[in-house]
Structure 1
């Protein structure tokens, strides 16, 4: 297995490995070690089917179930261990522009880290390209949250070290005016607490744990907390911290949600874009054995 750096700070392209077959324990360990270093890995020309993608993903931990299972009457196009990152309906046809599924998916173009709105967030995400927009667009951008943290001055690092943020998927969607969550989704996806600064267990590096899902910081007025989060988001997404991935058919991109953010970019919604994601659970919460601080619940 060989790795070519794609950015001065993080991200690498992996060659000489076939993800469609069973991997050896040594190969899995090599990929895990590379993830600790690069945080984003690109595997070109793999063309995995759904079963192969799930098998590869399960080498790294248990898979999350799609959050859409909470929606009443939802009929999945894919296996429930997969997230449908497409603009297609159950019959494989492009969604109408006013369809709620498409409107909710626009939030993927906000900076975020997967599943920070869950008590136990995501460890890795694996995204496979099946069909790409014929007129281009639809890149995915990644931000290195370790480098962003490293570049904060010492006073800021000390000030934010123990901050706890409130994350909710309703918060990120509300930024776009999307509030179409039924009762099942609201009960199944309550707001959760997450630390603002994480120490990566593999690399030992600290990083910012930010997302558009974060709406407040515990123990301070909501406007003050949101302003801090906005300032940190602006800092962490400067071009020097960002790798932009231009998709090719068959690409597999794997990233570490504990130390990166990402966002999708625009493409013509009438062009088919079919990507499929598996998400590996981190298995432990960042804030153990407690619920959300009631003083900030109303801010969600």
Structure 2
């Protein structure tokens, strides 16, 4: 992730800068309410479409509570996100920080035996999974049909950096082919391991800050704040155009290429 302090942007400037990294992702209307921003942006705020502070019980506010869970943007999409850019427009006097967890460092810190157990596992991701955890269950049929659950490998290797990373999110519900409870327990265990203080950076926002991060190897979450104060951040997201990533290098005792997908053709629905 990169932090650019004191870089105030207009929406047009943020869009132009974001497009330097790849194709813009557009966001559907998840909560089914009138939105404040056009769909090239995700509105990370507590405002309604007229710029008024949302009632804590408002449907849109209930949906946005999911941002306080550890997650990876768009892991629930068939073409997942490459990177996101978040621009601070208005900030609260206290609280409202955003925390980022380095999933490469977390993977590196796992015992070798644990790494071997994770290679080749696939988790199912869905936007409905994370929102149910905060009590939001009001998706319309269009969202359900447009965004069905997708499989994502639990461990990915990125040739351009030579790094291996976990791929986790609150959107992940279970491990494909495992009993649901066992898969849930593993995902929770890994998220708790990966979000230890030693792997986490906390961004304390000031107006004009811009943060860019790689969604393929990080998780993030927003922190609570006083809902009577305005908090406004505009997020743009770049879609991942890669057709596949390589299966991680063979672990000790394995023959290279022996796992399904070692040539990049394994179970992975992400772009």
- Tell me the TM-score normalised to structure 1 length: 0.80
1:270-298 Cα offsets, whole Å, 9 max, x none, are 11000000000012465979798xxxxxx
Question: What's 1:180 paired with?
Answer: 138
Question: What's 1:93 paired with?
Answer: 52
Shift of 1:179: 0.4
Choose which of 246, 256, 280 in structure 1 pairs with 2:214. Answer: 256
1:110–1:169 CA distance, 2 compared to 1 (3 A): same
The number of residues matched between the two structures is 250
RMSD of aligned C-alpha atoms?
1.7
Shift of 1:67: 2.7
Instruction: Specify which structure has the bigger relative contact order, considering alpha-carbon pairs within 8 angstroms and separated by 6 or more residues.
Output: 2
List gaps (5 residues or longer) in structure 2: 246-264
Shift of 1:76: 2.7
CA contact (8 A) 1:111 1:261 kept: yes
CA contact (8 A) 1:121 1:285 kept: no
1:125 matched to 2:77? The reply is no
Question: What's 1:267 paired with?
Answer: 225
Shift of 1:205: 0.2
Q: Counterpart of 2:224 in 1: which secondary structure?
A: coil
Q: Counterpart of 2:21 in 1: which secondary structure?
A: coil
Q: Which runs of 4+ in 1 moved over 3 A?
A: 284-292
1:210-235 Cα offsets, whole Å, 9 max, x none, are 00000010111000111111111111
Choose which of 28, 34, 58 in structure 2 pairs with 1:67. Answer: 28
* Distance (whole Å) between structure 2 residues aligned to residue 201 and residue 120 of structure 1: 19
The aligned runs of 1:227-266 (5 Å cut-off) are 227-266=185-224
1:8-36 Cα offsets, whole Å, 9 max, x none, are xxxxxxxxxxxxxxxxxxxxxxxxxxxxx
1:85-138 Cα offsets, whole Å, 9 max, x none, are 1111111110111111001101100000100010111000000000111x3110
List gaps (5 residues or longer) in structure 1: 1-39, 293-300
CA contact (8 A) 2:62 2:135 kept: no
Choose which of 81, 94, 99 in structure 1 pairs with 2:40. Answer: 81
* Distance (whole Å) between structure 2 residues aligned to residue 234 and residue 188 of structure 1: 30
- Tell me the TM-score normalised to structure 2 length: 0.88
* Distance (whole Å) between structure 2 residues aligned to residue 99 and residue 76 of structure 1: 13
